Amino acid sequence: MPESYTVCAVVGQFADPRVADCAVALITMLRERGLEVLAAQEEATGALPAEARRVPRTELARRSQFVIAIGGDGTLLHAARLVADSDVPLLGINLGRLGFLTDVGLQELDAGLAALLEGRCVADRRALLEARLMHTAGGVEQRQALNDIVLLRRETGRLLDFRTNVDGRYVNSHSGDGLIIATATGSTAYALSCGGPIVDPRLNVLVMAPVCPHTLSDRPIVIPGNSRIEVHLEARGEGRAEVACDGIALGEMQPGDRLEIGAAGSAVTLLHPPGYDYFRLLRSKLHWGRGGDKYER
């Protein structure tokens, strides 16, 4: 074990018995290896051993050398927000349904932890997006995202009318339920359900995927990752929209408001088990390649 690894943090919905049980086992393993373990004092941490020291959530990244997220991809996205402004790496223990980001299963818990502490995990830098919602009435709201930034209608039965620009150039005028701007990481999330492409996370690109467009020719497009996107909500009609970053509400968007999206200039480091293969992950989660095991190397 590298001598530098002395403190880690665990993150999860510990009110869930499955998460709490996994956390207890994990904390026991970490303590047996001589590590100090931190947990957010704002969480329901009563089920955790007393050896897990409670600190403010905002202090977790500053006080730890790595973070372990226990749960599904939503939990890992929450943990990513905690470490976004630091170089603290993040490992995900999968207790969710799909687990594109949390790729250590319960059965591999001990082996995954050993690989992490021995420095054998695969480090994977994932770029972040930043959204800036600028209101005509004044004020700016902003937030970062690892997966996607979503513009979505608020009223049932009403279409949103909005237009998009990329790097100052007009792209299209849209009518529909909204728009998803996804990173390569987020291409397997909400954007996938809207017909967006699966993007290898090694590519620095963004996906613009309309949500339920009224015009069938309004299709997802892929643009460079350093692009600056502007979304303007048109005054026509009475449709209001909401903007969310990785599922967390940023704010309400009114006609005349402007949403700016671009690279945040920061990244999150994900840790994967040794032998990590993105295409093997896709085959596992999407049930590809049945009967094709003989082709694996």
The catalytic residues are: 73
Question: 138-161: string of b/e by CB count within 10 Å (b at 16+)?
Answer: eeebebbbbbbbbbbbeeeeebbb
Residue 136: in which H helix or E strand, if any? none
Q: Is 36 strand, coil or helix? A: strand
Q: Is 28 strand, coil or helix? A: helix
Task: Give CA–CA dist 111/189, Å, rounded.
Answer: 28
Task: Give CA–CA dist 282/100, Å, rounded.
Answer: 8
Task: Give CA–CA dist 58/33, Å, rounded.
Answer: 26
The angle formed by the CA atoms of residues 89, 90 and 91, to the nearest 5 degrees, is 130
- Paired tokens of 231: 């979304």
Task: Give CA–CA dist 288/284, Å, rounded.
Answer: 7
- Paired tokens of 135: 């209101």
CB 188 within 8 A of CB 196: no
Task: Give CA–CA dist 55/52, Å, rounded.
Answer: 10
Task: Give CA–CA dist 204/223, Å, rounded.
Answer: 9
CB 180 within 8 A of CB 190: yes
Closest by CA to 100, choosing from 16, 41, 23, 184, is 184
